[in-house]
Structure 1
Amino acid sequence: MGLVSTRVEQPPAAAAEAPAIRDRADVRRQVKLVVVLAIAAGLLLYFALSIDNATVKYVLGDRVSAEFPAKDLAAKPVVWVSFALVLGALVLAALNRLPRGWVATTAYVVSGLAFYAGFIVWAYSDQGEGAFQAAIANPLPGTIEIGTPLVLGALAGVMCERAGVINIAIEGQFLVGAFFASVAASLAFSAYMGLVGAVIAGVGIAALLALFALRYQVNQVVLGVVLIALASGLTAFLLSQIPSDPAIKQYLNEPPRLEELPIPVLSDLPVVGQALFNQTLLVYLMYASIFVVTFVLFQTRWGLRVRSVGEHPMAADTVGIKVNRVRWQAVLFGGVFAGLGGAYYTVGSTGAFDRDLSAGNGFIALAAVIMGRWHPVGATFAALFFGFMTNLQFQLALVDKIPTQFLGATPYLATIIAVAGFVGRVRPPAADGEPYVKS
């Protein structure tokens, strides 16, 4: 009996694993990240080399006061540490070691905060020997102040567009909410009644949006623009009818403002306590609204129906869901948040209503919806980001290193960079803006 020899072929070690093929979208994402981080690192290097004075002044509050005195901060070490952090993120991005998920998000946040720290220190450095020395202030109070109506407007946009209705009219809801909040609060001598008036006004514009978009199937983009024009003209006309006589005006357009309600213990936290937990009821309602909208959309049966009629209304109809009824409900629910956002411009901050008081912030809230990928949490962060950049614009107005013309464009430029470099292409709900007719 002969021996039978068998030979087992071993796969080549190197050739066994073929290199993974990357899609073009991932390559474009890496290129954008490398370019943005390289620009940030180059600017930080310039900032570090151009600073002469050793220190800058900073304050933990939103302004220098007896409670928050100005302190000295070493300027160059802060900028060099910021440069090192951004450079590290740049190296990781160039080597494609920033996968999607929490790792990349953490790197983006750290890089953004590092660039902000280095930039703000450079901007406030070398102010000269004058008597007035501007101090770096805590950006959180201003961010919350500017971002509150934007967050509420963005949540209204998320509710509507998740149901398949484009809400361009957020600006109009802001205007009527602000006006009727002022009137209701003035008549009742109560800022809290102003919130009720704002909600009713916001829901009223939402009802017009739903009526013409769902029942009469008017083009929703054109309809939104028309509703904004209606709200602007209506509030301007009603404002002109209010007499200037103080004895009458106090009942129509001199509302009391919401008072601050500090939360015990939390309001005493350093840095964030006064900014986040020494706020008015409206700001606390904004906090609660984020959780309510997120929970309702993703943890309830009604929220599932809202998302289904926004993605595939025909499929939703086949399982017995009343498509237009659900859309009506979502649009009216969104009107509550938009009305509250409008109330912030009167009873929440300035008091009396003035013409076109919201100054186009409804469009910024709509942009936050897109930037946040039609998710309530993402839209919230996008709105707060714009509030942060707008507050930065106001802070930098105290120093003269950057031209005022450029400062005015800073929030919008930063938003464009964030969308182009970090958000990228987004996909709206599939049936967004498409009317549904039951066949």
Structure 2
Amino acid sequence: MSATTQAPSLKHYEGNVLAPISWKGPITYVILGLLTIGWFGFGSPSGAQTRFLLSQGRDAIKLDPLFLAARPWALFLGFVILALAGFAAYAAVKRYRFGVWLPVLVGVAAVFAFLLWSGAGKEAAIPLSQLLAQGIVFAVPLAFGSMAGLICERVGIINIAIEGQLLAGAFAGAVVATVTGNPFTALLVAPIAGALVGALLAFFSIKYRVDQIVVGVVLNVLVIGVTSYLFSTILKDNKSLLNQPPGLPTIRIPLLADIPVFGGVFFNQNVLVYIMFAAVFVLQFMLFRSKWGLRMRSVGEHPKAADTVGIKVNRTRWLNTMLGGAVAGLGGVAFTTMIAVTFGKEMTAGKGYIALAAMILGRWNPTGAFAAALLFGFAEALRGTLSIVGTPVPTQFLAMLPYLATIFAVAGLVGKVKAPAAEGIPYVK
């Protein structure tokens, strides 16, 4: 049977020629599986157990700690990863398409094996439920930042300025919440601050057609400089008046919060976490099930064709770039008002760039970007938890985890990703 008569659901074509097979994913999974077996499996002390705490102190239903034999379970997870690598190789040969679920399964298996090895024979238990809850909290700014980048890049604007938009939202939210004494005002002001940075990005990128990456980097430096100056000259000397924001409340959802292990993780959280969940759901629906989303995607893929059917390309880019800035600004609240922390210079610490990596890892899809943000947030929470447990891994290496994951994502080791076709290309009518 010829290539052109194969079932289209199983094959990926470029014209009439099959696209080349990519072995990056399967090879990466094989290496990770062998490392899991050799390092986490045989590297765990024989007969040692790892203790996991499945409940938090605020949970209504308390579960007994879970004891697992470290070496057998780590070896089992290593072979699971090798089995998934075999499936990935088969899928590559057959050119099956699958989403992010395969790398997610591999990542979960590898991380759990790492936890087994880290806590093997230790007196301190690994608080699994608390670790998951902290991972979600750390993922909040990354999720909002990745959604901001997605909204902009879906219409063809590269948003490198996410870092500056997060920082602007953190600054504005902290100041206004302190002055008013109401943390909810930060949820109104922070998006405006982020949208202003987005407007500058749109102004130079669309009107004057300046290189979008250069503009984004310059805007990041600009926001860092302005907020650092205002912090040093005004906020530092008037902390109680301008930089002491109250925290957003934690909302406990009855019944759902009583579910063992996961109830407290998902249903006893800060109000901004619930807004994040809702934003991901709404954006997923709007992007692929609404006229607005169709116009967005058409402008980002083929602006000339969109213009031909009456869509105002540059106006669409203007509005969505500002909307993306507003979403990132809302994410900036996570650094200050969400947890009642005072604003500090450069407190975003590169989270905007990690959010960009989450967007790429999620393949410009809201749910995929959200899953990637959770992965990076969990890596951040893992660093703090394991340093308390007493893991043999140096804390410096644990600090590198989110950035190593970012490198792997951008390098394409999780599979081939394709950006919108008109990304970064100015449109001249």
Range of TM-score over shorter length: 0.7 to 0.9
Note closer, same or farther for the CA distance 1:93–1:370 as it changes in structure 2 (3 Å cut): closer
1:52 to 41, 46, 49: 46
Q: How do 1:236-275 and structure 2 match up within 5 A?
A: 236-242=228-234, 244=236, 248-275=238-265
CA distance in 1, matches of 2:370, 2:291: 23
Does residue 31 of structure 2 align to residue 41 of structure 1?
Answer: no
2:321 to 311, 331, 337: 331
Report the alpha carbon displacement of residue 263 of structure 1 after superposing the two structures with TM.
1.2
Question: Higher mean Cα deviation, 262-271 or 75-84?
Answer: 75-84
Does residue 87 of structure 2 align to residue 81 of structure 1?
Answer: no
CA distance in 2, matches of 1:144, 1:385: 9
Consecutive unaligned residues of structure 2, counting only runs of 5 or more, are 1-5
Does residue 113 of structure 2 align to residue 113 of structure 1?
Answer: no
- % same residue: 43
Report the alpha carbon displacement of residue 271 of structure 1 after superposing the two structures with TM.
1.3
The normalised TM-score by structure 2 is: 0.87
The answer on whether the counterparts of 2:50 and 2:67 sit within 8 Å (CA) in structure 1 is yes
CA distance in 1, matches of 2:278, 2:59: 31
The Cα offsets for residues 365-408 of structure 1, whole Å up to 9 and x where unpaired, read as 11212222212122111221111222222233232411233222
Note closer, same or farther for the CA distance 1:303–1:400 as it changes in structure 2 (3 Å cut): closer
Note closer, same or farther for the CA distance 1:426–1:365 as it changes in structure 2 (3 Å cut): same
Q: Which residue of 1 aligns with 2:202?
A: 210
For residue 30 of structure 2, what is the amino acid of its counterpart? L
Q: Which residue of 2 aligns with 1:7?
A: none
Q: How do 1:61-140 and structure 2 match up within 5 A?
A: 61=55, 70-93=65-88, 100-102=96-98, 106-127=101-122, 133-138=124-129, 139-140=131-132
The answer on whether the counterparts of 2:135 and 2:378 sit within 8 Å (CA) in structure 1 is yes
Q: How do 1:340-351 and structure 2 match up within 5 A?
A: 340-351=330-341
Note closer, same or farther for the CA distance 1:390–1:284 as it changes in structure 2 (3 Å cut): same
Q: Which residue of 1 aligns with 2:3?
A: none
The answer on whether the counterparts of 1:189 and 1:256 sit within 8 Å (CA) in structure 2 is yes
SS at match of 2:241: coil
Name the larger-Rg structure: 1
Q: Which residue of 1 aligns with 2:138?
A: 146
SS at match of 1:73: strand
For residue 214 of structure 1, what is the amino acid of its counterpart? I
For residue 81 of structure 2, what is the amino acid of its counterpart? V
Note closer, same or farther for the CA distance 1:42–1:371 as it changes in structure 2 (3 Å cut): closer
The normalised TM-score by structure 1 is: 0.85
Consecutive unaligned residues of structure 1, counting only runs of 5 or more, are 1-16
Report the alpha carbon displacement of residue 418 of structure 1 after superposing the two structures with TM.
5.0
CA distance in 2, matches of 1:269, 1:222: 48
Q: Which residue of 2 aligns with 1:410?
A: 401
Report the alpha carbon displacement of residue 98 of structure 1 after superposing the two structures with TM.
8.0
Q: Which residue of 2 aligns with 1:322?
A: 312
Note closer, same or farther for the CA distance 1:116–1:106 as it changes in structure 2 (3 Å cut): same
The Cα offsets for residues 32-55 of structure 1, whole Å up to 9 and x where unpaired, read as 414422442343244333323432
Q: How do 1:7-46 and structure 2 match up within 5 A?
A: 27-29=21-23, 32-46=25-39
CA distance in 2, matches of 1:224, 1:93: 37
Report the alpha carbon displacement of residue 362 of structure 1 after superposing the two structures with TM.
0.5
The answer on whether the counterparts of 1:47 and 1:119 sit within 8 Å (CA) in structure 2 is yes
CA distance in 2, matches of 1:53, 1:33: 32
Does residue 268 of structure 2 align to residue 278 of structure 1?
Answer: yes
Q: CA RMSD in A?
A: 2.8
For residue 401 of structure 2, what is the amino acid of its counterpart? T
CA distance in 2, matches of 1:337, 1:112: 28
Note closer, same or farther for the CA distance 1:263–1:33 as it changes in structure 2 (3 Å cut): same
The answer on whether the counterparts of 1:38 and 1:90 sit within 8 Å (CA) in structure 2 is no
Q: Which residue of 2 aligns with 1:14?
A: none
Note closer, same or farther for the CA distance 1:209–1:110 as it changes in structure 2 (3 Å cut): closer
Does residue 424 of structure 2 align to residue 433 of structure 1?
Answer: yes
The answer on whether the counterparts of 2:29 and 2:81 sit within 8 Å (CA) in structure 1 is no
CA distance in 2, matches of 1:251, 1:69: 46
Report the alpha carbon displacement of residue 285 of structure 1 after superposing the two structures with TM.
0.8
The answer on whether the counterparts of 2:126 and 2:385 sit within 8 Å (CA) in structure 1 is no
The Cα offsets for residues 172-208 of structure 1, whole Å up to 9 and x where unpaired, read as 0011100000011011101001111111111111111
Aligned residues: 412
Note closer, same or farther for the CA distance 1:391–1:62 as it changes in structure 2 (3 Å cut): farther
For residue 412 of structure 1, what is the amino acid of its counterpart? Y
Note closer, same or farther for the CA distance 1:312–1:43 as it changes in structure 2 (3 Å cut): same
Q: Which residue of 2 aligns with 1:377?
A: 367
Report the alpha carbon displacement of residue 107 of structure 1 after superposing the two structures with TM.
4.6
